[in-house]
């Protein structure tokens, strides 16, 4: 499978199935064939085009563009070659909006609207809802401190399909949910950490669900 940039992909599709291009430049022709296979000089103005096992000789035109007959011959050559073109996959982007209470994971294939949203909450059997508090600073009067690791593992699991990640969080320093999450990913899931494109700190106090989604959308657009 061959990956073409968008303009060459459109040209290739037009040559195969669409209306024959009226103004097809020799430079674009050679670049397209070079991406699909080989375009090698063969002496003088003649070039050898090789694509998918097919071989054909084409002459560089005296003008800037190929003539109508040559464009039609190029179409026949490409159809016979049957060259496959790979359509680039849409990036799988995820935005995590995280604070002490929960992580909202939004999945985007574009910057317009999230395709899905998953909320991950820390295991909190005693209702503390403060997974980021340091154990040495906590006074739970003998009660078991809520586990942090399970929370971060759940967020990491949700991020596995992503190839672009933005982390948005509340707080700074030791109270920063983003800093804690990123540190956890670097230590335990370095492959996921490498896909983090940006981190942002915002005030998440008293925000509504629609406002959280708006924050996610804003941050995703900023890095696209």
Tens of pLDDT, residues 148-186: 788 899 999 999 988 889 898 876 655 678 888 999 999
Query: What kind and span of H or E run contains 115?
Result: none
By C-alpha distance, which of 194, 193, 91, 92 is closest to 152? 193
By C-alpha distance, which of 22, 58, 28 is closest to 40? 58
3-state percent helix, strand, coil for the chain, nearest multiple of 5: 40, 25, 40
Predicted pLDDT at 201: 80
Would the CA dihedral through 173, 181, 113, 87 be positive or negative? positive
116 to 19, 110, 146, 153: CA distances (angstroms):
39, 12, 28, 19
Higher per-residue confidence, 6 vs 3? 6
Give me the chain's average pLDDT, please.
78
Higher per-residue confidence, 33 vs 17? 33
Mean pLDDT of 10-24: 85
CB of 173 closer than 8 Å to CB of 179 = yes
Enumerate helices (H) and strands (E) in the chain, giving the number of each: 7, 10
Predicted pLDDT at 8: 85
The answer for residues whose C-beta is within 8 angstroms of residue 62's C-beta and 6 or more apart is none
Residue 126 pLDDT greater than 50, yes or no: no
pLDDT-derived band at 84 (thresholds 50, 70, 90) equals low
Range in 22-31, 37-46, 130-139 with the lowest mean pLDDT: 130-139
Range in 39-43, 134-138, 191-195, 211-215 with the lowest mean pLDDT: 134-138
Tens of pLDDT, residues 110-119: 555 566 678 8
The tokens describing 52, both together, are 């998918």
d(CA 3, CA 1): 7
Tens of pLDDT, residues 50-69: 998 889 999 999 898 999 99
Predicted pLDDT at 89: 54
Mean pLDDT of 204-210: 74
**Does the global pTM surpass 0.85?**
no
- By DSSP bridging, strand 103-108 and strand 116-120 are antiparallel
pLDDT-derived band at 123 (thresholds 50, 70, 90) equals low
Q: Which residue ranges form the domains of the chain, and what is each CATH number?
A: 2-86 (no CATH), 93-223 (3.30.420.60)
CB of 103 closer than 8 Å to CB of 173 = no
Side by side, which strands form the sheet with 196-201? 116-120, 103-108, 93-98, 164-169, 196-201
Predicted pLDDT at 113: 59
Predicted pLDDT at 137: 37
């Amino acid at each position: 499978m061959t990956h073409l940039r968008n303009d060459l992909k459109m040209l290739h599709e037009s040559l195969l199935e669409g209306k024959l291009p009226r103004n097809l430049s020799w430079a674009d022709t050679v670049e397209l064939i070079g991406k699909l296979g080989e375009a090698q000089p063969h002496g003088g103005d003649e070039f050898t085009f090789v694509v998918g096992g097919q071989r054909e000789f084409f002459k560089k035109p005296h003008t800037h563009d190929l003539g109508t007959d040559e464009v039609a011959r190029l179409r026949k050559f490409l159809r016979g070659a049957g060259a496959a073109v790979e359509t680039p996959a849409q990036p799988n982007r995820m935005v995590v909006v995280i604070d002490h209470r929960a992580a909202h994971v939004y999945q985007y294939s574009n910057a317009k609207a999230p395709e899905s949203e998953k909320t991950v909450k820390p295991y909190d059997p005693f209702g503390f809802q403060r997974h980021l508090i340091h154990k040495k600073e906590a006074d739970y009067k003998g009660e078991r401190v809520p586990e942090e690791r399970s929370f971060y593992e759940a967020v990491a699991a949700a991020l596995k399909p992503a190839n672009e990640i933005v982390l948005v969080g509340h707080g700074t320093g030791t109270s920063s949910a983003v800093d804690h999450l990123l540190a956890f990913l670097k230590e335990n899931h370095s492959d996921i950490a490498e896909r983090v494109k940006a981190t942002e700190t915002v005030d998440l106090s008293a925000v509504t669900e629609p406002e959280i989604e708006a924050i996610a959308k804003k941050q995703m657009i900023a890095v696209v």
